[in-house]
Amino acid sequence: MKGELVRVWTDDELQLQSLHCTAQYLSGLPAVLHIHGASSNFYRSQFLDRLADGLTNRGYSLLSGNTRGHDIMNTVYAKDPTASRRMGVAFEIFEECLLDVKAWLGFLQGRGYEQAVLLGHSSGALKVAYYQSETADERVKALIFMSPADQGFWLEAAGAEMERTLTWATEMVSEGSGEALFSGPLIPYPMSAATIHSLFVESKSDIFKFGRPDEPWETIAKLRCPILALMGTVAESTAPNPEEALAVLKSKALSSPRCDTAVLEGAPHNYRGYEAQVTETIMDWLEEIFAS
Domains of the chain: 4-150+208-290 (3.40.50.1820), 151-207 (no CATH)
Q: What is the pLDDT of residue 151?
A: 83
CB atoms within 10 A of CB 52: 22
Q: Whole-model pTM?
A: 0.96
Please give the pLDDT value at position 74: 94
Q: What is the pLDDT of residue 1?
A: 81
- Measured in residues, the chain has a length of 292
Interatomic CA distance for residues 198 and 148, integer angstroms = 18
Residue 6: how many CA atoms within 13 Å on its side-chain side? 21
Mean pLDDT split into 10-residue runs, the chain, 292 residues: 95 98 94 97 97 97 98 96 94 98 98 97 98 98 96 75 91 97 82 96 95 95 98 90 96 97 97 98 97 72
Question: Is the distance from CB of 38 to CB of 89 less than 8 angstroms?
Answer: yes
Q: Determine the pLDDT at residue 205.
A: 95
Which residues share a beta bridge with 14?
Answer: 78
The pLDDT value recorded for residue 279 is: 98
**In whole angstroms, what separates CA 289 from the centre of its chain?**
21
Say what the pLDDT of residue 183 is: 83
pLDDT of residue 163: 86
State residue 25's pLDDT score. 92
Tell me, what amino acid is at 209? K
* Contact call for residues 278 and 270 (beta carbons, < 8 A): no
Alpha helices (H) in the chain, listed in sequence order: 47-57, 97-110, 123-135, 151-158, 160-174, 193-196, 218-221, 242-252, 275-290
